[in-house]
């Protein structure tokens, strides 16, 4: 979440008249994240999240994202729901941007997740994968192999400004992943961005998943590798095998991984580390000064990428083979 586009109070009040949302009491921008402009609204009826979809998000993808939330909720997953307008549409327009009102999910994200929380995240991810079955719409993953190359092409010339030698190092990783990226694994709808700030807890109980604006169709085990990268490394860059074990056990308590998925986990984890390194690198180099957005350090994911290169067995992630 972030704020790239500001909104005027009078415009927002007019926008709310198209919904059965009550009258506006207060609103404020949410600075975390990098993708859309988001605001927390308090109305006379209920708190809501207002999302303005920025240029990186294709308007044609919005029916997939909003419909997916409805489908997952109907399948028993706890997640926000888009609020329909009085005419039944899920999208409106505000400040020149497509905009939607989304229900507010109680809870908060964990700054210091423990192994027990990782287990709950693993379970919730598997529940999402199961609940996503049968969703009629599809969306290819724009941030897979081809998308990584596109991002790299836009960043390569300046990569050594971030760390000397990065150009050659990342070229080598892209070549490796093109050669060894797994095929014919189980696929379906994935979240693709299940970081701690996209998972809410009430105490130690997971209350729901949010922010489905990277969701797409891809390998289910790739989603698992994203979570290993996002949840199971410590601040000093060390991989916490206890957290990894709990996350993987939680996931497999709902949806067991196949032997082929387990064998592919080191390559998938290397790929997901590269994906987030490249998007962070691009944002680090191109986000304009003054934008109300928290830029994320690309070197964090470079260190994770280097860790995955050294993995010789999936057991090193905490899997029981």
Mean pLDDT by 10 residues, the chain (321 residues): 76 96 93 76 95 86 95 96 95 93 95 97 98 97 94 95 95 97 96 97 96 96 98 96 98 97 97 97 80 76 97 92 67
The pLDDT score that the predictor gives to residue 194 is: 98
**Nearest 5°: phi and psi at 240?**
-95, 100
3-state secondary structure of 38: strand
Structure tokens at 247: 């996350």
User: Distance of CA 308 to CAs 134, 166, 293, 313, Å?
Assistant: 33, 17, 29, 10
Q: How far apart are CA 192 and CA 216, in angstroms?
A: 7
User: What's residue 36's pLDDT?
Assistant: 85
Residue 296's pLDDT is what? Answer: 82
Q: Identify whether the C-beta of residue 37 lies closer than 8 Å to the C-beta of residue 97.
A: yes
- Predicted confidence at residue 163, as pLDDT, reads 94
Q: Which residues contact 289 (CB under 8 A, 6 or more apart)?
A: none
Quote the pTM value.
0.92
Supply the pLDDT for residue 1. 43
CA distance 63 to 215: 12
> Is 286 exposed, middle or buried (CB count within 10 Å of its CB: 0-12, 13-18, 19+)?
exposed
Q: Positive or negative, the Cα torsion across 242, 204, 130, 58?
A: negative
Helix, strand, coil percentages (3-state) for the chain, rounded to 5, are: 45, 15, 35
- For residues 303 and 132, give the distance between their C-alpha atoms in angstroms, rounded to a whole number: 32
Token pair 């694994």 in the structure block, residue:
185
CB atoms within 10 A of CB 313: 12
């Amino acid at each position: 979440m972030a704020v790239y586009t500001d909104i005027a109070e009078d415009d927002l009040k007019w926008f709310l008249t198209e919904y059965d949302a009550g009258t506006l009491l207060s609103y404020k921008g949410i600075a975390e994240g990098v993708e859309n402009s988001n605001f927390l609204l308090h109305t006379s009826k209920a708190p809501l999240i207002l999302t303005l979809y920025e240029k990186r998000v294709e308007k044609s993808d919005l029916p997939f994202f909003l419909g997916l939330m409805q489908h997952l909720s109907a399948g028993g997953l706890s997640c926000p729901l888009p609020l329909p307008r009085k005419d039944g549409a899920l999208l409106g327009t505000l400040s020149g941007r497509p905009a939607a009102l989304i229900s507010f999910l109680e809870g908060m994200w964990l700054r210091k997740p423990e192994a027990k929380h990782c287990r709950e995240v693993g379970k919730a991810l598997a529940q999402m994968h199961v609940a996503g079955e049968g969703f009629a719409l599809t969306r290819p993953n724009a941030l897979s192999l081809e998308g990584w190359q596109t991002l790299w092409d836009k960043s390569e010339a300046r990569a050594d400004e971030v760390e000397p030698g990065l150009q050659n190092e990342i070229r080598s990783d892209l070549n490796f992943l093109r050669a060894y990226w797994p095929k014919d694994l189980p696929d379906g709808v994935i979240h693709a961005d299940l970081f701690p700030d996209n998972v809410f807890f009430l105490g130690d109980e997971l209350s729901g998943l949010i922010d489905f604006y990277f969701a797409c169709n891809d390998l289910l085990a790739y989603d698992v590798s994203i979570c290993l990268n996002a949840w199971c490394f410590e601040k000093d860059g060390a991989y916490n095998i206890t957290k990894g074990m709990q996350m993987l056990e939680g996931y497999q308590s709902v949806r067991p991984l196949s032997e082929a998925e387990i064998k592919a986990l080191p390559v998938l984890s290397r790929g997901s580390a590269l994906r987030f390194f490249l998007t962070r690198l691009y944002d680090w180099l191109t986000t304009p000064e003054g934008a109300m957005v928290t830029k994320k350090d690309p070197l964090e994911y470079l260190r994770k990428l280097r860790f995955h290169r050294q993995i010789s067995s999936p057991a090193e992630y905490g899997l029981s083979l």
